[in-house]
Structure 1
Amino acid sequence: MIFGVGCDIAKVSRFEKWVLSKDMISRFYNENEHVSENAGLQRKCEFYASRFAAKEAFSKALGTGIRGFNLNEVFISKDDNEKPEIKVLGNAKKMLEEKCGEKYKIHVSLSHEKEYALAFVVIEIIA
């Protein structure tokens, strides 16, 4: 059963000042979601913009907005096939389990191009 759906778009150029500030990155991103230092500025901005959009989309799918948890408790990792997946920790996980129980699956799709990054999230309750 589908519990919730969320979508978000972010302007990539907005993240340039974030990329240049380690404080902003550590505030909003989990230590497990960092782009290579060798990546160019545009690539770094796309990386962080798409992940920020995923965090926003997750909060919309959960139905809470970004309230009750920190954004760095929701992060993108990759599975064995390099497919992105959302992981949740702390209060975000507690809220998710309160709403969906312990059997759920979070689907995520990320996309970006030069100017915009987009994320789409579906939270599915597994019966």
Structure 2
Amino acid sequence: MIHGIGTDVCDVRRIRVSLERHGERFARKILSDGELAVWQARSKRWPERGLRFLATRFSAKEAFSKAVGLGLRMPMTWRLCEIANLPSGKPVIVLHGGLKEWFEKQGLTAHVTVTDETDYAASFVVVEKKEN
């Protein structure tokens, strides 16, 4: 059964301005440790890919927070929600700490997709409640 659906469209230019203004501190606020390592590697080699990576993660976390119905309030935090990729490239949501505990206690599972195109990144999340 569907518990919630969330979507988000993020202006990559807005992320660029925040990154220019706050530097890596901005990325550290948004990204988990695993995501931060990927962002740093991509940014070093291809700055635009790093920027788009950050924008898609920002967008996916916003969409997830909407789908679970919490918005950005506890136990939902930027760093406890990680958007990782399977070896196939498929994006998946990996939760940590109190958010993971809360999510599992609710009996929820999540599906995510992300995309980016020039000036925008977009994400769509479906959260399901496990049937008993």
TM-score category by the smaller chain? 0.7 to 0.9
Cα drift, residue 80 of structure 1: 2.5
CA–CA separation in structure 2 for the residues paired with 1:44 and 1:113: 14
The match for 2:62 among 56, 62, 75 is 56
Equivalent position of 2:71 in the other structure: 65
Equivalent position of 1:108 in the other structure: 112
CA–CA separation in structure 2 for the residues paired with 1:52 and 1:72: 11
CA–CA separation in structure 2 for the residues paired with 1:32 and 1:39: 18
TM-score by length of structure 1 reads: 0.88
Equivalent position of 1:3 in the other structure: 3
Cα drift, residue 18 of structure 1: 4.1
Gap regions ≥5 residues in structure 2: none
- Number of residues of Structure 1 aligned to a counterpart in Structure 2: 123
Instruction: Render the CA deviation track for 1:17-59: whole Å, top value 9, x for unaligned.
Output: 444411111111101113222112x322211111101101001
8 Å CA contact retained: 1:109, 1:121: yes
> Given the alignment of the two structures, is residue 119 of structure 1 paired with residue 123 of structure 2, yes or no?
yes
User: Which protein has the bigger helix share?
Assistant: 2
Report the RMSD for the aligned CA atoms in angstroms: 1.5
TM-score by length of structure 2 reads: 0.84
Task: Give the match's secondary structure for 2:46.
Answer: coil
Equivalent residue letter for 1:24? F
- Percent identity over paired residues: 33
CA–CA separation in structure 2 for the residues paired with 1:115 and 1:16: 10
